[in-house]
Amino acid sequence: MRDLYFEEEDMQTQILEKQDIEAFWEALAQCLSPNDLICGADVSETDIKDWSTEIPGKPIGLALPRSTQEVSEVLSRCNRHSIPVVPQGGRTGLAGGAVASDGALLLSLARMSDIEEIDTASATATVLAGTPLQTIQEAAEAEGMMFGLDLGPRGSCQIGGNISTNAGGNRVIRYGMTRDLVLGLEVVLADGRILSMLNRMPKNNAALDMKPLFIGSEGTLGVITRAVLKLHPGIAGANTALVALPDFDSALALLGHARRVLSDRVSAFEVMWADYFDAVLDVTSLRAPLESKAPLYVLIDMQGPDPEKENDLFHDMLAEAMEQGWVLDAALAQSQKDALDLWALRDGVTELLMTTRPTINFDVSVPIAKIGECVAHMRAALEADFPEMNRFFFGHIGDSNIHLVTGPLPADPNVEHRIESLVYEIVRNFSGSVSAEHGIGLHKKPWLKYSRSDEELTLLRELKQTLDPKGILNPGKVL
């Protein structure tokens, strides 16, 4: 496995001598109040971890700045003393991007939580990095607007973490990734320089937009402190249906048809292969919404300001799809409760994970047209090599995203790597991505090379060297 890892010498930070740390700690105490600084031994076990399975190191402490100025002062001191820094949001990431490293200072944005402005006329929200996603969603709703980003841990994750990991979630097909929802950013660079790019205009071509350097860089190029977010018009609900399909080509045809007829307003298109669908019905007490069995199911949603008014359009779209033979059977939600029941099938993955554990959960993407073939390859290869394990496939296919859960994992510690190797090689053969939405962090570092060329990784290192020459920001993550 060694050859999959990159040389890390240039990124490595040295573990400091005791007196160095004391000098650093004194410097830090000059810029933060004692209440906002926690020393190594006192940092709680939960603060050193995220939602991944990565094993955390021992940090030298935890800083909780209350302003951009304080973040800047902390970083400039870390840089001067060559202290590595692990920026942290709500620590809900699944790739280990926010777990503590040995000898690092944890830099939590949690005390920078505020919605500074909702500007309904400009359709923007200006927020601090530590603001929970759900707080932003609710503030937008209260003004008749909507923030397009949504994901499971909405109550715990923070917008700064969402931006630094370019979070995906439930509505990417309609509203895009987090990157598409950020108009402006304020970022503190490794040396403490504050970069204010708080643009509020959809159109701004006054030289290169440098915000994308920090969106999805997982805290390795700068620390996000503030953002201007793009809002969308408020919605009242959704038209929802669960449909059964004869094959994957029909799912592609239905997707194209639905997007055309509904003017690109499809806000969810969740494909569930029969292995997943049947297993969820097995492990939950949910009622099957359709009578007959099919190889493939799709949950389709169109959010809007007046779902009742759109019922006919949505119904006619599905009727035409049935006529064409793309859809075998359909259950249309007649109420909010119906819709929730249909969504429960997709959310049944939680129970599936519990009853199948330990599992490996894949989050990969391949070009949309190739998803059916790619899943067939993965299923056949896993069945051949690991027949005793279950495999469940589902995904947001309009976003190119496939999720695969496989388990239970046997005790043999080599099996996990063998399965990852098998799956990621297939992804590579389909010119896909080893990480559709979870990022790289620590967990996917060995596989990054499968999706990015040597030339890209070289340029990535050059950018890292330019922006963080001492390599203090989230060392050992991503690269």
Is residue 188 within 8 Å of residue 223, measured between CB atoms? yes
* Window 412-471: residues binding a second copy (CB under 8 A): 431-440, 444, 448, 451-453, 455-457, 459-460, 462-463, 465-467
The alpha helices in 181-227, defined as continuous H runs, are: none
Query: Using the rule CB under 8 A, is 197 a contact of a second copy?
Result: yes
Nearer to a second copy, 273 or 424 (CB): 424
**CA angle at 382 for the pair 376 and 384, rounded to the nearest 5°:** 100
Q: What is the DSSP letter of 184?
A: E
* Residue 41 in tokens: 């031994």
Taking CB under 8 A as the criterion, the residue among 264, 282, 383, 385 binding a second copy is 264
* Residue 31 in tokens: 């810029």
Nearer to a second copy, 132 or 184 (CB): 184
> Order of strands across the sheet with 390-396?
329-332, 237-245, 296-304, 266-273, 390-396, 401-407, 360-365
Query: Using the rule CB under 8 A, is 410 a contact of a second copy?
Result: no
Query: Using the rule CB under 8 A, is 221 a contact of a second copy?
Result: yes
Nearer to a second copy, 12 or 204 (CB): 204
Give the residue carrying structure tokens 């989050």.
363
Q: What are phi and psi of 132, to 5 degrees?
A: -65, 145
Is residue 335 within 8 Å of residue 266, measured between CB atoms? no
SS3 122: coil
Nearer to a second copy, 377 or 396 (CB): 396
Q: How far is the CB of 475 from a second copy (least distance, A)?
A: 15
* Window 68-87: residues binding a second copy (CB under 8 A): none
CA 432 → CA 27, 359, 393, 423, 469, distances in Å? 46, 22, 16, 11, 31
Is residue 311 within 8 Å of residue 241, measured between CB atoms? no
Q: How far is the CB of 45 from a second copy (least distance, A)?
A: 28
> Order of strands across the sheet with 61-63?
37-39, 61-63, 105-108, 85-88
Taking CB under 8 A as the criterion, the residue among 106, 140, 172, 389 binding a second copy is 172
Nearer to a second copy, 113 or 199 (CB): 199
Q: How far is the CB of 25 from a second copy (least distance, A)?
A: 28
Query: Using the rule CB under 8 A, is 376 a contact of a second copy?
Result: no
Segment near a second copy (CB under 8 A); pick from 18-26, 43-51, 73-81, 227-235: 227-235
Using CA atoms, how far apart are residues 397 and 245, in angstroms rounded to an integer? 14
* Window 303-342: residues binding a second copy (CB under 8 A): 304-305
Using CA atoms, how far apart are residues 299 and 396, in angstroms rounded to an integer? 10
Taking CB under 8 A as the criterion, the residue among 71, 75, 123, 279 binding a second copy is 123
Query: Using the rule CB under 8 A, is 144 a contact of a second copy?
Result: yes
Q: How far is the CB of 176 from a second copy (least distance, A)?
A: 8
* Window 6-65: residues binding a second copy (CB under 8 A): none
Q: How far is the CB of 181 from a second copy (least distance, A)?
A: 11
Please confirm whether the linkage preceding 34 is cis (ω < 30° from 0): no
Q: How far is the CB of 300 from a second copy (least distance, A)?
A: 15
Segment near a second copy (CB under 8 A); pick from 21-29, 53-61, 378-386, 397-405: 397-405
Q: What is the DSSP letter of 444?
A: T
Q: Which residues pair with 106 in a beta bridge?
A: 62, 86
* Window 234-263: residues binding a second copy (CB under 8 A): 234, 252, 255-256, 259-261, 263
Query: Using the rule CB under 8 A, is 4 a contact of a second copy?
Result: no
Taking CB under 8 A as the criterion, the residue among 4, 16, 195, 344 binding a second copy is 195
Count of residues of this chain found to bind a second copy when the rule CB under 8 A is applied = 93
Per-residue x/- track, 279-298, a second copy (CB under 8 A): --------------------
Using CA atoms, how far apart are residues 327 and 363, in angstroms rounded to an integer? 27
Using CA atoms, how far apart are residues 185 and 194, in angstroms rounded to an integer? 11
Query: Using the rule CB under 8 A, is 160 a contact of a second copy?
Result: no
